Amino acid sequence: MIKQVTAGKLRFVAAVSSLWMMLCASLTGAHEVTPTIGDFVVEDGQIILDLRMNVEAFVAGINLDGMTDVNDSDQSDRYDMLRALEPQELDGLVRSFVNDWVLQLGVKTDVGDVALLLKQTAIDPVGNVELPRASVLTFSGDLPQGARTVVVRWPQGGGDLVLRQQGVSAPFTGYLAGGQSTDPISLFGADKAEDGQRFFPSLVFGFKSIVPNGPDPILFVVGLCLFGAGLRYVIWKIALFLGGVAIALPLGATGLSPVPPHVLQAVIAMSLVYVASENLRAKRYERSRLAAVFVFGLFHGFGLANEFLQSGTALVGFALGVQVALAMIAGSGLAVVMGVGQHPWFRMFVVRPTSIVIPALGIYWVVQPMLA
């Protein structure tokens, strides 16, 4: 009896820990730390690089490598102060920061280095200070005569960078972590055979758009896993949700999203309320609920399409990365439920509390910007 109780407690701890790790990953990645988007083009013998970035985090001196929530940083207070500054106040601090930081932003051609200079800044007005605002820093530098390729080095501590080439056929698109460099990039565009090099960076970006930066679909899948009316029924619901995402994401990527972003976010929040309320009240499965899950999968897919459109990555790789991440979350959740879900305490101490937290977060993410 003692061994059985001890084993049960260990399984309980493992179950709760696994579920809350997934939930915490969604919370900490609630659009707080976003990758920098870099677009570069060659014009009149110069390379021009636009960086769309959460510049306050850089100015605050936060090491973004591997970070999902800037509140975990010792510099979070300074970061919050910078987000509340008007554009003209922040601009001076940005220019002072860039003087040293640009030396770490390496651009090197096959015939020599490129000295980058800050050309202009574009900082949005103060909005919802709970969310990062996007600022664009434009750099330019003269290319050495005869240069044919370029290597870009992203500074250590800069977090993730999506780098996109513009103005050429078969352009380069890559994904860099802090401290990494690209392979040599043709300044005139890659051969078609090299397009496959975009696949893996796109897959990584798609995966990260879910883990850790996709709280909505994570919470929805966790909610599906917690439904206790038969494993086969839960698997069907997960499959239909993934199918809805797989259909809607490419449609949204081509601009065929049926609803505007603010309405889309509201519907996604409703989906979290739905899946949680089903866990609290439903005792058996109903076929009509399968259709609802599929429809909500479509809306989540359209939401993820907005992430894709901002990344500029390859659609196939991005979509596959999304599916791998969602399948991983679903597999982990089902493993926990299959292991300990039959115990009475699991519904009392895991299903019920989690099913209250999930819709509360969805509603908060919709209402909070209106109250700011």
Digit-coded pLDDT (tens) for 259-279: 777 788 888 888 888 888 877
Query: For the chain, which residues make up each domain, given as ranges?
Result: 2-30+209-371, 36-182
For the cut 80, the answer to whether the pLDDT of residue 296 exceeds it is yes
- Look at residue 284 in the predicted model and tell me its pLDDT: 58
- Look at residue 329 in the predicted model and tell me its pLDDT: 93
| C-alpha to C-alpha distance for 62 and 78, rounded to whole angstroms | 10
Q: Rounded mean pLDDT of 281-298? A: 79
- Look at residue 319 in the predicted model and tell me its pLDDT: 94
For residue 88, name the pLDDT band (cuts at 50, 70, 90): very high
| C-alpha to C-alpha distance for 296 and 268, rounded to whole angstroms | 7
Give 299-347 pLDDT, tens digit per residue: 999 999 888 876 767 789 899 999 999 999 999 888 887 777 667 776 6
For residue 136, name the pLDDT band (cuts at 50, 70, 90): very high
Total-model pTM = 0.59
- Look at residue 371 in the predicted model and tell me its pLDDT: 55
Secondary structure E strands in the chain: 36-43, 46-53, 106-109, 112-113, 117-123, 135-142, 149-153, 161-165, 173-176, 185-186
Give the lowest-confidence range in 73-82, 275-284, 294-303. Answer: 275-284
- Look at residue 25 in the predicted model and tell me its pLDDT: 41
Geometric angle at alpha carbon 174, from 182 and 332, rounded to 5°: 120
- Look at residue 30 in the predicted model and tell me its pLDDT: 41
Q: Of 205, 217, 161, 200, which is closest to residue 25 (Cα–Cα)?
A: 217
Give 144-188 pLDDT, tens digit per residue: 988 989 999 999 999 999 899 998 887 888 889 999 999 889 888
For residue 32, name the pLDDT band (cuts at 50, 70, 90): low
- Look at residue 196 in the predicted model and tell me its pLDDT: 55
- Look at residue 35 in the predicted model and tell me its pLDDT: 86
Instruction: Let me know: does 137 contact 94? Beta carbons within 8 Å.
Output: yes
For the cut 60, the answer to whether the pLDDT of residue 15 exceeds it is no
Q: What Rg do the C-alpha atoms of the chain give, in angstroms?
A: 23
Q: Is 66 helix (H, G, I), strand (E, B) or coil?
A: coil
- Look at residue 48 in the predicted model and tell me its pLDDT: 96
For the cut 50, the answer to whether the pLDDT of residue 31 exceeds it is no
Structure tokens given for 258: 């049926």
Task: Enumerate residues 6+ apart whose C-beta is below 8 A from 102.
Answer: 116, 117, 118, 139
Instruction: Let me know: does 49 contact 38? Beta carbons within 8 Å.
Output: yes
For the cut 60, the answer to whether the pLDDT of residue 360 exceeds it is yes
Other beta carbons within 10 angstroms of residue 358's beta carbon come to: 27
Q: What is the DSSP letter of 343?
A: S
Structure tokens given for 209: 């758009």
Give 194-250 pLDDT, tens digit per residue: 455 567 888 888 998 898 778 889 989 988 888 765 678 888 999 999 999 999 999
For residue 353, name the pLDDT band (cuts at 50, 70, 90): confident
For residue 366, name the pLDDT band (cuts at 50, 70, 90): low
Q: Rounded mean pLDDT of 113-141? A: 89
Give the lowest-confidence range in 5-19, 66-80, 209-223, 339-353. Answer: 5-19
- Look at residue 369 in the predicted model and tell me its pLDDT: 53
Which H, E and C letters describe the chain, residue by residue?
Answer: CHHHHHHHHHHHHHHHHHHHHHHHHHHHCCCCCCCEEEEEEEECCEEEEEEEECHHHHHCCCCCCCCCCHHHCCCHHHHHHHHCCCHHHHHHHHHHHHHHHCCCCEEEECCEECCCEEEEEEECCCCCCCCCCCEEEEEEEECCCCCCEEEEECCCCCCCEEEEECCCCCCCEEEECCCCECCCEECCCCCHHHHHHHHHHHHHHHHHCCCCCCHHHHHHHHHHHCCCCCHHHHHHHHHHHHHHHHHHHHHHHCCCCCCCHHHHHHHHHHHHHHHHHHHHHCCCCCHHHHHHHHHHHHHHHHHHHHHHHHHCCCHHHHHHHHHHHHHHHHHHHHHHHHHHCCCHHHHHHHHHHHHHHHHHHHHHHHHHHHHC
Tell me what percent of the residues of the chain surpass a pLDDT of 70.
81
For the cut 70, the answer to whether the pLDDT of residue 55 exceeds it is yes
- Look at residue 169 in the predicted model and tell me its pLDDT: 80
Greater confidence (19 vs 272) lies with 272
Instruction: Let me know: does 211 contact 329? Beta carbons within 8 Å.
Output: yes
For the cut 70, the answer to whether the pLDDT of residue 86 exceeds it is yes
For the cut 50, the answer to whether the pLDDT of residue 7 exceeds it is no
